[in-house]
Amino acid sequence: MAGRRGALIVLEGVDRAGKTTQCCKLVEALCDAGQRAQMLRFPERSTEIGKLLSSYLEKKSEIEAHAVHLLFSANRWEQLYFSNHWVLYWQNFSLDWCKQPDVGLPKPDLVLFLQLQLADAAKREGFGCELYENQAFQKQVLQRFYQLMEDPTLNWKIVDASKSFEEVHEEIRTVSEATICTAAQRPLEELWK
Q: Which chain residues interact with ligand ADP by CB under 6 A?
A: 13, 15-21, 124-126, 164-165, 168
Choice from 4, 5, 20, 38 touching Mg ion (CB under 5 A): 20
Q: How far is the CB of 166 from ligand ADP (least distance, A)?
A: 8
Q: How far is the CB of 19 from ligand ADP (least distance, A)?
A: 3
Q: What order of strands is seen across the sheet that includes strand 9-12?
A: 9-12, 110-115, 156-160
Nearer to Mg ion, 20 or 182 (CB): 20
Nearer to ligand ADP, 72 or 183 (CB): 72
Site for Mg ion in 119-178 (CB under 5 A): none
Do 111 and 155 contact (CB within 8 A), yes or no?
Answer: yes
Q: How far is the CB of 113 from Mg ion (least distance, A)?
A: 14
Nearer to ligand ADP, 41 or 184 (CB): 41
Choose the binding region for Mg ion from 14-22, 112-120, 128-136, 170-178 (rule: CB under 5 A). 14-22
Between the alpha carbon of residue 26 and those of residues 14, 62, 173, 174, the distances in Å are: 19, 35, 6, 10
Q: How far is the CB of 8 from Mg ion (least distance, A)?
A: 18
Nearer to ligand ADP, 64 or 125 (CB): 125
Please report the beta strands in the chain, taking only residues with DSSP state E, as ranges in sequence order: 9-12, 110-115, 156-160
| Neighbouring residues of 161: CB distance < 8 A, sequence distance ≥ 6 | 13, 17, 18, 22, 114, 115, 116, 168
Choose the binding region for Mg ion from 18-26, 29-37, 63-71, 155-163 (rule: CB under 5 A). 18-26
- Count, in order, helices (H) and strands (E) of the chain: 7, 3
Q: How far is the CB of 92 from Mg ion (least distance, A)?
A: 26
Using rule CB under 5 A, residue 39 touches Mg ion: no
Nearer to Mg ion, 41 or 99 (CB): 41
**71-75: which pairs have CB atoms within 8 A and are 24 or more residues apart?**
72/42, 72/43, 73/101, 73/102, 74/49, 74/101, 75/42, 75/43, 75/44, 75/47, 75/49, 75/50
Chain residues in the site for Mg ion (CB under 5 A):
19-20
